[in-house]
Chains A and B, each alone.
Chain A
């Protein structure tokens, strides 16, 4: 089980800021595939992962990263701070 968080337009497109996901996905990319199969909203949000960033337990990571031991996965667009 993993806590999945969404920010900015990803959050708006999916419609929830966070949710607990029951998954046995091995990598972030596998989790994305599972989420996209759920519902057209997820499919649309994850259509182009090159436009997205991912953080695992609050550290920036990549879509090929393994999920083993990870508690929190966050998806968001490139950051625009400063």
Chain B
């Protein structure tokens, strides 16, 4: 299990090259990468604030739960903070399991929980000004399926 909270970019290829290859019982690896997108055509950058200490703790708790629940062979979460330009990767998760259903489900669970339970806050820097991104009811509702 690996968890990293960092400002610098991560190397997706390097992170996934050896991920889940430690044993003979891994039949499925799922990865997800979140990228800064610009819906309005006005976004210059996204700024992510976080709560040092609690962030690592919250992510570890969520990841440990996924490891146990889906009997994962391995799990990886990298989440960036600071100022990110449109098109830059924000975060990635990877899960390794015996079967694909477990790997996919665990990755979705991790994503749903990271969105609403890891202490990050996004602020949009637009040409016209700045605004904190509001949490969506749909994101909170997404937790109910787990």
Interface residues of A (CB under 8 A from B): 5, 7-9, 55, 58-60, 74, 76-82
Contacts and interface: CB of A to CB of B under 8 A. Distances in A.
B54 A79 contact: no
Interface of B: 34, 48-51, 53-54, 57-58, 79, 90-91, 111, 114-123, 132-135, 140
Chain B contact residues: helix, strand, loop or mixed: mixed
A58 to B, nearest CB: 4
B112 to A, nearest CB: 8
A81 B118 contact: yes
A7 B117 contact: no
Contacts of A7: 49, 51, 119, 121
Nearest to B116: A79
23 contacts: A7-B49, A8-B132, A58-B51, A58-B54, A59-B54, A74-B119, A76-B51, A77-B121, A77-B135, A79-B115, A79-B117, A80-B115, A80-B120, A80-B132, A80-B133, A81-B91, A81-B116, A81-B118, A81-B122, A82-B90, A82-B111, A82-B114, A82-B115
